[in-house]
Chain A
Amino acid sequence: MNLQQKYVAFKTILIKEWLRFMRIWIQTVLPPAITMVLYFIIFGNLIGSQIGGIKGFTYIEYIIPGLIMLGIIANSYANVVSSFFGAKFQRHIEEMLVSPTPNYVILLGFIAGGVVRGLTVGVVIFLVSLFFTHLQIHSLFVTVSVVLLTSVLFSLGGFINGVFAKSFDDISIVPTFVLTPLTYLGGIFYSIDMLSPFWQKVSLINPILYMINAFRFGILGISDISLLASFAIIIAFIAGLFIVGLYLLDKGVGIRT
């Protein structure tokens, strides 16, 4: 397969994934938008107006980057884990496995599908947020790169989950019991400066904290964490998970007998 053919195969997987989640947009794109409207109304306007500002921003302005990131993380992960597990379950992953498409292209295709869904949901939440507050982007480069990298990272996470999943329960365990708690404890609603020194240190082992803060820097220009540390952590996780994901595909774990 030459480079052009590999690109066609990659694009095919991406289009297939995009069509898949857009075909069921009521299940994939609409719910996060509605959830975020509720967050904005309750935590932003009703409770937020009683809380006051954090680091010079109103409470709703402070939490919006974290809420956008919450949507991106959850949807990137959910897209790949459900799509890959569905492909295994219905066995149409075999369509790719019998073809000459290399495993890394298959992996990149699924990641791209997760990124596109994450970005779609992120843009929808961002647009919804404009009804509640006025946001100015502090650094477009940081904002876009953090969104893309985080989306890639959680797409990879979803892929690995999908490889090992044997039932539909298995694809909801990690999002429910790992991702959601880590995201909520990753500084969406508060600054870790508000925590005691002990809990500040504990928070630092949560990788999602780095992503939310880097994204908040991109939009608001403030962060609890060094930007360099955030990028280093995200890129290191991506590299590690990509190697694991490719290894699993090469070995055929869960997909080849």
Chain B
Amino acid sequence: MPTALSIRNLTKTYKNGLTALKGISLDVREGDFFALLGPNGAGKSTTIGIASSLINKSGGKVFIFGKDIDVEFAEARSYLGLVPQEFNFNVFEPVVEIVVNQAGYYGIDRKRAFAAAEDCLRRLGLWEKRHSAARELSGGMKRRLMIARALVHGPKLLILDEPTAGVDIETRRAMWDFLRKINAEGTTIILTTHYLEEAESLCRSIAIIDRGVLIENTSMRRLLDTLHLETFVLYLKDPIRFLPELPEHDIQQVDDATLEVSISKEKSLNKVFTDLSCHGIEVLSMKNKANRLEELFVRLVNEKAAPASPARASIA
């Protein structure tokens, strides 16, 4: 399958001497939904900035759909749509002008640009706001405006740097649905996020960067398979005051009607239910605790971090 983004030995040292990237190489396949994760300051935004030509690299090569961003920059950039972390539009401009102008920078004439802008704004629920100045939009709308702007020229590769940061749950879910839809339509998506639930829910591939080094690059499924333990949340039919002694199982009482059980993937849950039943505890329902990627993330970053700074993987 063709490669949407190919990075080879990418290095970046800033003027202040900080080395943000220490020779990263990775490939993102066409059509993939790819998560680029890492703690704050790991080098994610630097990688994205270099790929989108906003940051000058110190060394290495970047190819977008096979086009070298240094040599065939116009073609390489035409394949790419970027949704940066910070709002970066003219807050005094009307919404529709921001999107139409962006199309113009890609050589799309004004008539076609208006049609494309209308399509993007409608899909993102902003058409009614098209004449409003961007500063009048809510935080969630501003995020959607940046997505509409990034999509107006029909990019094959969309890079989103923390697109759901600071938006409410409803908007976030709607954005997830939208991103899934455009990915299903063929757009390759690279996503950085601090919401690991988001990455786990959306992405099929994952790379983790820490301190400018790639520490993991695999499929989401393969990474999650490396977890030996799974945690389930059990909702009880009747409240209990105390959890009985169950030495065979790793069970924690969350509250009087909720338990959390961590169990090896090789073990059956039936024994847990049987032992609970023996003590008169009936389980009404259960769910898989959705923090699997979080556990792995913390473990990977801590395992591969320098010994001088243990437990540095803050993800919030």
Residues of A within 8 A of B (CB): 1-2, 4-6, 8-9, 11-13, 15-16, 19, 23, 86-87, 90-92, 94-102, 252, 256-257
CB contact under 8 A between A96 and B89, given known A252-B56, A256-B56, A257-B56: no
Q: How far is the CB of A1 from chain B (nearest CB, A)?
A: 5
Note all chain A residues with C-beta closer than 8 A to B109.
8
Q: Is the CB of A94 within 8 A of B54?
A: yes
Q: Is the CB of B78 within 8 A of A87?
A: no
Which listed residue (B53, B78, B88) contacts A92, Cβ 8 A?
B88
Q: Is the CB of B53 within 8 A of A8?
A: no
B82 interfacial contact with A, CB 8 Å: yes
Which chain B residue lies CB-closest to A100? Answer: B74
Cα of A13 to Cα of B55 in the assembled complex, Å? 22
Cα of A2 to Cα of B49 in the assembled complex, Å? 26
Q: How far is the CB of B107 from chain A (nearest CB, A)?
A: 3
25 contacts between A and B (CB under 8 A): A5-B108, A8-B104, A8-B108, A9-B104, A9-B105, A9-B106, A13-B105, A16-B97, A90-B91, A94-B84, A94-B88, A95-B98, A95-B105, A97-B53, A97-B54, A98-B52, A98-B53, A99-B102, A99-B105, A100-B106, A101-B105, A101-B107, A102-B74, A256-B56, A257-B14
Cα of A177 to Cα of B203 in the assembled complex, Å? 56
Q: Is the CB of B105 within 8 A of A12?
A: yes
Which chain B residue lies CB-closest to A12? Answer: B104
Q: Is the CB of B102 within 8 A of A9?
A: no
Note all chain B residues with C-beta closer than 8 A to A9.
104-107
Which chain B residue lies CB-closest to A94? Answer: B88
Cα of A4 to Cα of B104 in the assembled complex, Å? 11
Note all chain A residues with C-beta closer than 8 A to B90.
86-87, 90, 92
B178 interfacial contact with A, CB 8 Å: no
Cα of A92 to Cα of B90 in the assembled complex, Å? 6
Indicate the size class of the contact surface on chain B.
20 to 34
Q: Is the CB of A100 within 8 A of B75?
A: yes
Q: Is the CB of A95 within 8 A of B106?
A: no
Q: How far is the CB of A105 from chain B (nearest CB, A)?
A: 9
B273 interfacial contact with A, CB 8 Å: no
Cα of A252 to Cα of B91 in the assembled complex, Å? 23
Q: Is the CB of A6 within 8 A of B105?
A: no
Cα of A16 to Cα of B98 in the assembled complex, Å? 9
B 270-300 to A, binary, CB cutoff 8 A, 1 in contact else 0: 0000000000000000000000000000000
CB contact under 8 A between A256 and B107, given known A95-B88, A100-B77: no
Which chain A residue lies CB-closest to B81? Answer: A98
Known contacts A8-B104, A99-B105, then 18 further A-B pairs from the complex at CB < 8 Å, ordered by chain A residue: A2-B107, A8-B109, A9-B104, A9-B106, A11-B110, A12-B101, A12-B105, A15-B101, A19-B97, A90-B88, A92-B88, A92-B89, A94-B84, A98-B53, A98-B54, A100-B74, A256-B54, A256-B56
Cα of A70 to Cα of B261 in the assembled complex, Å? 79
Q: Is the CB of A257 within 8 A of B55?
A: yes
Closest 8 CB pairs of A and B: A5-B107, A12-B104, A99-B105, A100-B74, A91-B88, A100-B77, A257-B55, A1-B74
Note all chain A residues with C-beta closer than 8 A to B75.
100
Q: How far is the CB of B12 from chain A (nearest CB, A)?
A: 9
Which listed residue (A6, A87, A92, A96) contacts B107, Cβ 8 A?
A6
Q: How far is the CB of A210 from chain B (nearest CB, A)?
A: 36
Cα of A61 to Cα of B49 in the assembled complex, Å? 56
Cα of A75 to Cα of B102 in the assembled complex, Å? 26
Cα of A103 to Cα of B53 in the assembled complex, Å? 12
